[in-house]
Structure 1
Amino acid sequence: MKKSILIIASIFLIVAFLPSVLAHPISSASDFISFEDGTYSIEIPDGQIDKFFHWNANYPKLISAHRGGFTTGFPENAIATFENTLTTAPALLEVDVRRTADGSWILMHDEDLSRTTNGKGIVKQTNLATIKTFLLKDNQGNLTPYHVPNLEETLLWANGRTILELDLKSDDYTDEVVEIISQLDAGDRVRFITDNIEQATKIYNLNPEIHLGISISADNLNAVLAEVAAAPFTLRKISVFTGTQPQSADFYQKLHARGLVTIQGVFGEQNLFENTSIDELNEKQRKTLFDSVFDRGGDVIASDYYQQIADIIVSDNR
């Protein structure tokens, strides 16, 4: 009798909750994005980062905040800056990783410490403890109260908040960085920017959970796809950086047809404005530039101007 009651109760629970489960399948990157208490987050369940980077027609417009989204008072490659960026829109955070003299890993773009901190010296010649005593400067040169984060604390912070796009400044130590990611079980919050298929293959062999960033242009599309076909991973394992100029709708469509998400950099001189630097464009011109990427089919825009892109994204979602 008790067994029958348990079976009936189990069936009831399945019937009661099945419609809700079916109504909300994880079918698009949007299902991983939330907004609470004034902050956006991208939370990836274990083993599902490749689903986030699988393109479909409902793929949301996103930002890749270059060096984490620096602005006045918030220096590049700093956790406080990342938190500020995520108040504007859901964003991937591109960060730079360098090795210190004692084999630690920190977030730092330059090999010289003087531009972004109040310290001096070369990163690879300076110990972590010394670097931790320095304060970061914003890009106007103003001193801030923030310190240089190491890779471990950044990976822990990112859990349930965002995806870090790691730009490793020395391929020679790829295995060390992958080991840190693996030890922290942080593969679900990393997109590893790679220089070539060989490096991507090395990363995959060391930790197959880590998502791989591959560069593809209209000129080398078929060649790179052939390399991936011969690699131990599939297209589901990669997303594509498409250079620093908006590409054609046809090119984006070719990538989308293979389920590939495009990350379009918008840096430097722009063909759309007669090779004028993006930094010399006014706000209206930059909006035209960013709109052109999204209108042609670009999925993620990588840029220093994350705030303006955030305005476009949030406005479109109203």
Structure 2
Amino acid sequence: MKYFIFTALIFCFISCSEVASKDSKLIETFKSTNPELPQVSVHRGGKNIQHYPENCLETLQYINDSIFAIYEIDVAQTKDGKLILMHDNAIDRTSTGTGLVKNLSYNELTAFNLVDDYGNETAFKIPLFKDVLKWAKTNNVILTIDIKRSVSQKVVIDAIREVNAEDISVIITYDVEQATTAHALAPELLLSVSARNEEEYNRLLEAEIPTKNMLAFTGTRLSNASLFEKLHAENIVCMLGTLGNLDQQAAAKGEKSYVTWKALGVDIFATDRPFAVYNALK
């Protein structure tokens, strides 16, 4: 009987380990050779849209009704440990409330409404991360998740696993250390890693982070075509952050700029102008 129980426990341990380490579907599909990838990443879930605030579930729904894209969102943590969508440390800029997120309970946050980038108050509330994950999973929408400094990677990864949202979740990291800890915690997840030049990319390789787990963020300036070629040689998807200067440049000089940059090797554009980029590339 003892032998049977011991054997059953070993089998359970192995099976659970295999389930935990099973690669997300994104690791298989996010390849530079895949022509079906979305080409637009919506910064902060949507910015500069009248009556639709950033990091707002209703904004994600609104944009998703019109274009094929992935969505970058920011995850913060309240005083009572709830994970919410919020970019700033304080809620003053994007809501009708005031104060630091870390000093406010989620129940207190529900008293406030979100405000768009033009100062218009909406009827929308600060969303819970788990609700956004559930919506994304139901609608097969990919999220790239920016974990704020005050939040641990483990807490966010646990929340992803709790609703079985691994197949639609990408963890954003900004340096080798963050990428290393994220991969150790969740080897099954795709990671957005900082690879703005060959030196940064080589450091990631030296840290023994598998290239299959990498989505390369090449920065907010155009890199040399040789970097894109090197990343593509490993079938790594390249994302350029046009948010800021490059978006402004394209708005002034014409939307064909996005087509030109794509020809250099850009696979996905992280942008504050999702509709313009989508239409230019379409």
Instruction: Name the TM tier (shorter chain).
Output: 0.7 to 0.9
How far did 1:299 drift?
Answer: 0.4
Amino acid at match of 1:266: T
Amino acid at match of 2:253: Q
Aligned counterpart in structure 1 of residue 102 of structure 2, from 103, 120, 124: 124
Measured against aligned partners, the alpha-carbon deviations of 1:254-288 in whole angstroms (never above 9, x if no partner) come to: 11111110010013335xxxxxxx44x57362513
Q: Secondary structure at the match of 2:96?
A: coil
Match of 1:289 in 2: 257
Whether the 8 Å CA contact 1:105–1:151 is kept in 2: the answer is yes
Alignment of 1:229-240 (within 5 A): 229-231=206-208, 233-240=209-216
Alignment pair present for 1:183 and 2:162: yes
How far did 1:200 drift?
Answer: 2.0
Q: Which aligned runs of 4 or more in structure 1 are off by greater than 4 angstroms?
A: none
Measured against aligned partners, the alpha-carbon deviations of 1:176-235 in whole angstroms (never above 9, x if no partner) come to: 1111112211111111001222222222222222211101122xx14533433442x410
Whether the 8 Å CA contact 2:94–2:116 is kept in 1: the answer is yes
Whether the 8 Å CA contact 1:68–1:76 is kept in 2: the answer is yes
Distance 1:47 1:173 in 2: 21
Distance 2:44 2:118 in 1: 15
Aligned counterpart in structure 2 of residue 65 of structure 1, from 42, 56, 60: 42
Whether the 8 Å CA contact 2:75–2:129 is kept in 1: the answer is yes
How far did 1:111 drift?
Answer: 1.1
Amino acid at match of 1:50: I
Alignment of 1:79-94 (within 5 A): 79-94=57-72
Alignment pair present for 1:248 and 2:227: no
Alignment pair present for 1:266 and 2:251: no
Q: Matched residue pairs, number?
A: 259
How far did 1:48 drift?
Answer: 1.4
Distance 2:274 2:140 in 1: 17
Alignment of 1:48-59 (within 5 A): 48-56=25-33, 58=35
User: TM-score, normalised to structure 1's length?
Assistant: 0.76
Distance 1:145 1:172 in 2: 27
Measured against aligned partners, the alpha-carbon deviations of 1:106-126 in whole angstroms (never above 9, x if no partner) come to: 100111111111111111111
C-alpha root-mean-square deviation of aligned residues, in Å? 2.1
Identity of aligned residues (%): 29
Q: Secondary structure at the match of 1:97?
A: strand
Alignment pair present for 1:144 and 2:139: no
Structure 1: tracts of 5 or more residues without a match:
1-45, 271-277
CA 1:166–1:282: 2 relative to 1, 3 Å = closer
Distance 1:47 1:111 in 2: 31
CA 1:141–1:182: 2 relative to 1, 3 Å = same
Q: Which has the larger radius of gyration?
A: 1
How far did 1:156 drift?
Answer: 0.7
Whether the 8 Å CA contact 1:78–1:149 is kept in 2: the answer is yes
Whether the 8 Å CA contact 2:24–2:190 is kept in 1: the answer is no
How far did 1:81 drift?
Answer: 0.5
Match of 2:18 in 1: none
Aligned counterpart in structure 2 of residue 308 of structure 1, from 250, 254, 276: 276
Distance 1:66 1:108 in 2: 13
Structure 2: tracts of 5 or more residues without a match:
1-22
User: TM-score, normalised to structure 2's length?
Assistant: 0.85
